[in-house]
Amino acid sequence: MEEFKELEFKYKADAVSLVAFVNLMNEVGYTVRKDVSSWDHYYTHADTKEEFLRFRDSDRPELTIKRKVKSTNNWERVEIDLPLDPVRVNKRIVDNWTKLEGYDNNFTIYKSCFIFWQELLNMVYYVVYDEDMKEQGRFIEIEVNKDKVQDIGITKAFEQLKEMERKLTALGINPQNRLKKSLFEMFVK
């Protein structure tokens, strides 16, 4: 399951401007930048609010399932993204499929993301909106690229996260600011 490991640190970034984040990324360097926005629909299981699915309704739609490795934080999880056919999939189909599996739509958010990739890591600044496009918060994530976790191992991966975290101190980010809750845990009803 190493190939499906999600290793990331997330921080509340309401006090950090996008410009400051972009300037820092220009300083630390990156190979690719992508700006993307999409709707994320979260479905909870009828038996437990601990299990959820996320449908990312975008030009590259996917259905994601995540599982915590530790109950105390979300820094290491199992995450499997199931790519969906962008021509044939729509929210109605996903709603019906998830319902048949015992999941109900719990909440929907819209995310505007500014993603910067390096060889081992990606750094993201994103703004979360509710369904009325009212801003709900700004966040920064640093994540080990999923295709690299197996190659470098968990220990080295966390070292890479901590090294980038030290660079984020220029934005007022530090280890004490790491969020232990996922977006799902923050917004679930």
Model pLDDT for residues 38-51, shown as the tens digit of each residue:
999 999 998 887 77
Which residue has better confidence, 48 or 168? Answer: 168
Q: Residue 172: left (phi > 0), alpha (psi -120 to 50), or beta?
A: left
| Residue whose C-alpha is closest to residue 115's, from 123, 106, 105, 104 | 123
Task: Give per-residue pLDDT as tens, 10-28.
Answer: 999 999 999 999 999 999 9
Per-residue pLDDT tens over the stretch 116-152: 999 999 999 999 999 999 999 999 999 999 999 989 9
Q: What is the pLDDT of residue 2?
A: 64
Q: What mean pLDDT comes out for the span 94-110?
A: 96
What pLDDT score does 67 carry?
84
Question: Tokens 């499929």 correspond to what residue?
Answer: 97
Q: Full-prediction pTM beyond 0.75?
A: yes
DSSP letter, residue 168: G
**Does 5 score more than 80 pLDDT?**
yes
Phi/psi at 74 (nearest 5 deg)?
Answer: -115, 25
Write down the pLDDT at residue 1.
56
pLDDT at 4: 86
Q: Is the pLDDT reported for residue 72 higher than 80?
A: no
Cα–Cα distance, 113 to 18 (Å, whole number):
10
Whether the per-residue pLDDT at 71 is higher than 90: the answer is: no
Alpha-carbon torsion (30, 147, 74, 131), positive or negative? positive
Taking residues 179-186, report their average pLDDT: 93
